Amino acid sequence: MNVGIINYGVGNLGSVYRALENLDVEPLLITNPEDVENCDSLILPGVGNFKECKTILDNKGWTTQIKEAALIKKKPILGICLGMQLLADYGYEGVLDNNSPTPGLGLISGEVVQMKSFGCKERVPHMGWNSIKITRKSNILDEIVDDTDFYFVHSYFFSVKNESDIHAITDYSIIFPAIVGKDNIWGTQFHPEKSSKAGFKILNNFIKLSKC
C-alpha cells in the first residue's frame, strides 16, 4: 500500500515520514500533483498560514487532484494540523477583510477561525500537550481513550458545521474539535507524529482504514 505525503513546500514532512516508517509503511513524498494517482491514501500536513498554504495548493495544481482523490476516487486522506484546517469550506487566517475568507478544500463543512475571537483565555498559540474527549466512536480512535494527551501547535481552530463530523474535542478554555472525520476524510488538529505512542496509534489506525 502506498501512503503519499503531500509535499507542497510546508509542514514537518520528516517527522511524518519517519513516523510512518516506524509503522512499517513505505511512505511516498509526492511533489507532483499528478502523483496523487499513484497513492492508495494521502496525508496532508501543514504548518503556517491558511491563506498562504491554500494559495500554494491552488497555484501548483494540488487542490483539484486532492478533491478528485477524496470525493470521486474515495481515497482515504488525513489532514494534520493546518492540513486538517484546509479541509474546511473557508478560513479567516491571513485575510485582511473578515468578510472575504479564503476558500478551503471544502471536504468537511465548516470554517477556520481565530481562537481568541471565540473567547480563548489561555495563551495563544496553543502549544503543548492537551487531552482529548471522544465524542463519536470511530475506527481511527481504536484503542484511544478519553484524556489521552496529544501535542498541539495552533492559533486557529476548525469550527465544524455538523456535529456528526466531530470525533474528539479538546478543552483549552474553549472547546474545539481535535479530530474530525467524514467518510474517507479525516483530520487531527494535533500532530500525531509528535504525540508519542498515542499519536503513532492514530496514524496506524488511519493506515488500517486505508486498507479496508
pLDDT of 98 strictly over 70 = no
pLDDT of 9 strictly over 90 = no
The contacts of residue 59 (CB under 8 Å, 6+ apart) are none
User: What's the mean pLDDT when you consider all of the chain?
Assistant: 94
CA distance 187 to 105: 13
Q: How many domains does the chain have?
A: 1
The model's confidence at residue 2, banded by pLDDT at 50, 70 and 90, is confident
Active site residues: 81, 191, 193
DSSP H helical ranges for 39-195: 50-59, 62-67, 82-85
CA distance 168 to 146: 9
Give the pTM.
0.96
Which range is least confidently modeled, 94-103, 154-163, 172-181? 94-103
The contacts of residue 9 (CB under 8 Å, 6+ apart) are 56
Nearest to 142 by CA among 116, 168, 121, 165: 168
The contacts of residue 119 (CB under 8 Å, 6+ apart) are 173, 174
Q: 22: how many CB neighbours lie within 10 A of its CB?
A: 12
Q: CATH number of the domain at 116, please.
A: 3.40.50.880
pLDDT tens, position by position, 55-82? 999 999 999 999 999 999 999 999 999 9
Domain that holds residue 42: 3-211
pLDDT of 177 strictly over 90 = yes
End-to-end CA distance of the chain, in Å? 11
Query: Phi and psi for 67 in degrees, rounded to 5?
Result: -65, -40
